[in-house]
Amino acid sequence: MPRFRLLIEYDGSAYVGWQRQDNGPSIQGAIEKAILGLTGETVSIRGAGRTDSGVHARGQVANVDLQRGWKGETLRNALNAHLGQNGEQVSILDAAEVSPEFDARFSALRRHYLYRIICRRAPLALEARRAWWVVKPLDHEAMHEAAQMLVGKHDFTTFRSAHCQANSPVRTIDRLDVTRDGEIIEIRATAQSFLHNQIRSFAGTLKLAGEGKWTPEDVRTALEAKDRKACGPVAPPDGLYFMQVDY
Amino acid sequence: MPRFRLLIEYDGSAYVGWQRQDNGPSIQGAIEKAILGLTGETVSIRGAGRTDSGVHARGQVANVDLQRGWKGETLRNALNAHLGQNGEQVSILDAAEVSPEFDARFSALRRHYLYRIICRRAPLALEARRAWWVVKPLDHEAMHEAAQMLVGKHDFTTFRSAHCQANSPVRTIDRLDVTRDGEIIEIRATAQSFLHNQIRSFAGTLKLAGEGKWTPEDVRTALEAKDRKACGPVAPPDGLYFMQVDY
């Protein structure tokens, strides 16, 4: 059976998350339903990252095996037609046949995420559910400095969810940059893989640094504590975007 | 009675438009309801521009007279609290007391609009209802060149809605620039005032130029026809943003 790679964009706010679950509509389920509608096949697709409810994607990747060959463009357009008919907030940006060895999850070399904060007094209207609204002014340079404590290979027990299923809490963060453009603060994170809630845990902790409540040294101490209770409050999912996977 | 100027952001997709109407919720109505909730006063606010259903704003301006003085910040925060409670997609960015001569509509020196097109094969998920999705590739330089035919003082009968209530079809367009950033094409329009549907009529016509169907000369001929039937198809409201008013 030929294997296909799908590149996927979605607005996560209407879904329980990437993964199929009993408690509501998932992005995985939406795409599997579109495939069933198109080909009559009941498939299980595999994503590069299991994003939580409310988390968005501009470049999620998944693989799926289908019974017959498809031209990538035809598959993309037909799946989008089904997704549109079903009223989904999911779009297939690209589809292509790949080697049967390709695995969206395990073949990934690097994953890139963006976390967006909008820092202003007025609530968000146009950006509601698309960014974390923070009222207090944040010093993005202090956030960037604190972020550098988290770059490199560490035991990230402090910064992962109690529900994280990874065997090891050790990860290598290649990049954690904080930049500002007017009222928008962007945190860009790159690693081969992340732990559950790791970037939202980073974002919540870096906000404390931006408010002047935590120094970079406090962030290092929290990291070295290897204790979930040492983490700052976890940031909401609204600001998180799964941007790209490198293979 | 003191007069206040409100600076307003909204997601227009859930509303029948700026103006209060019998057929559904309006942005004007949402703000007037928030004012009633806050002060107990039934007021009629006056906006700088009557945006249509689906049109967004990052900088709509309105004026309102209230019975007592308010600190701008207090008024803004209190109105936002009421708008939030009512589940509105409207945010008051700023509120300030102004001279009783200030009139959001007639004191305006220049209005700035943005029209966003996203040009790609895949439907919009994250940008659904926030841009015009165009599948065919567009040449933004051809669009910009054609746009220059519309700059200056002209009779814009061709480019206004049959329902336009303005006495004169003559307007002076100060700026109509088309730029591209990746798959996003932006049309920026500035004038003291615009006719009803003028920018959406421009956008629909410039798309024809971007597809190579119309030359700049065709745009000039359509303008000179002074005939609504000579206009290209009107672009959807989703891509239009009322950005700023200069006083």
**How does pLDDT run across B132-176, given as a tens digit for each residue?**
999 999 999 999 999 999 999 999 999 999 889 899 999 999 999
Q: Are B112 and B70 in contact (CB under 8 A)?
A: no
The pLDDT tens digits for A31-80 are 999 999 999 999 999 999 999 999 999 999 999 999 999 999 999 999 99
Cα(A139)–Cα(A83) distance, integer angstroms: 41
Structural domain spans, chain B = 3-98, 110-246
CATH topology of domain A3-98: Alpha-Beta Plaits (3.30.70)
The region that residue A207 occupies, defined by phi over 0 for left and psi between -120 and 50 for alpha, beta otherwise, is alpha
* Residues above pLDDT 90, as percent of chain A: 98
What is the maximal distance between C-alpha atoms in chain A?
A: 58
Searching chain B, which residue's CA lies closest to the CA of residue A27?
Answer: B125
Res A185: pLDDT: 98
pLDDT (average), residues A86-108:
97
Res A145: pLDDT: 98
The pLDDT tens digits for A175-226 are 999 999 999 999 999 999 999 999 999 999 999 999 999 999 999 999 999 9
Cα(B230)–Cα(A217) distance, integer angstroms: 67
Joined tokens for residue A146: 């604190």
Joined tokens for residue B19: 């103006």
CB contact under 8 A, B83 and A122: no
Phi, psi of B82 (to 5 degrees): -70, -40
Q: Which residues of B are annotated as a binding site for substrate?
A: 113
Which of A51, A73, A126, A183 would you mutate first to test chain B, the one with the most B CBs within 10 A?
A126
Searching chain A, which residue's CA lies closest to the CA of residue B85?
Answer: A123
Cα(B137)–Cα(B128) distance, integer angstroms: 19
CB contact under 8 A, B91 and A123: yes
Q: Which residue has the tokens 């697709």?
A: A45
Joined tokens for residue A212: 């002047």
The pLDDT tens digits for B10-32 are 999 999 999 999 999 999 999 99
CB contact under 8 A, A76 and B122: yes
Q: What is the DSSP letter of A229?
A: G
Searching chain A, which residue's CA lies closest to the CA of residue B88?
Answer: A125
Instruction: Count CB pairs under 8 A between chains A and B.
Output: 62
Res A156: pLDDT: 98
ipTM comes to 0.94
Q: For A218-225, which contacts have Cβ atoms below 8 Å and span 24 or more sequence positions? A: A218/A146, A219/A146, A219/A147, A219/A149, A219/A150, A220/A149, A222/A158, A223/A149, A223/A150, A223/A154, A223/A156, A223/A158, A223/A159, A225/A158
Q: Are B61 and B245 in contact (CB under 8 A)?
A: yes
Nearest residue, CB atoms, A126 vs list B11, B80, B92: B11
CB contact under 8 A, A76 and B10: no
What is the band of A18 on the pLDDT scale with cuts at 50, 70, 90? very high
Res B205: pLDDT: 97
Interface of B with A (CB under 8 A): 9-11, 56, 58, 73, 76-77, 80, 83-84, 89-94, 120-126, 128, 130
CA distance A10 to chain B (A): 5
Nearest residue, CB atoms, B80 vs list A9, A122, A130: A122
End-to-end Cα spacing for chain A: 22
Nearest residue, CB atoms, B84 vs list A89, A123, A126: A123
Joined tokens for residue B125: 């998920």
pLDDT (average), residues A158-176:
95
Q: What is the DSSP letter of A6?
A: E
Asked whether this chain's domains B3-98 and B110-246 adopt the same fold, the reply is: yes
Determine the Cα angle at A132 with ends A126 and A133, to 5°.
Answer: 70
Res A177: pLDDT: 98
3-state SS of B161-192 is: CCCCCCCCCEEEEEEEEEEEECCEEEEEEEEC
Searching chain B, which residue's CA lies closest to the CA of residue A76?
Answer: B122
In chain A, residues with a C-beta closer than 8 Å to the C-beta of B92 are 122
What is the band of B73 on the pLDDT scale with cuts at 50, 70, 90? very high
What is the band of A131 on the pLDDT scale with cuts at 50, 70, 90? very high
In chain B, residues with a C-beta closer than 8 Å to the C-beta of A92 are 122
Res B191: pLDDT: 98
Helix (H, G, I), strand (E, B) or coil at A177: strand
Q: Which residue has the tokens 């900088």?
A: B59
Res A35: pLDDT: 98
Q: Which residue has the tokens 């206040």?
A: B4
* Residues above pLDDT 70, as percent of chain B: 100
The pLDDT tens digits for B45-72 are 999 999 999 999 999 999 999 999 999 9
Q: Where are the alpha helices (DSSP H) in chain A?
A: 27-39, 72-85, 140-147, 198-210, 216-225
What is chain B's mean pLDDT, rounded?
A: 97
CB contact under 8 A, B128 and A94: no
In chain B, residues with a C-beta closer than 8 Å to the C-beta of A73 are 121
What is chain A's mean pLDDT, rounded?
A: 97
Res A50: pLDDT: 94
Nearest residue, CB atoms, B128 vs list A89, A92, A125: A89
A52 counts as catalytic: yes
Residue A50's nearest CA partner among A18, A25, A24 is A18
Judge: domain B110-246, CATH 3.30.70.660. yes
Q: What is the DSSP letter of A126?
A: T
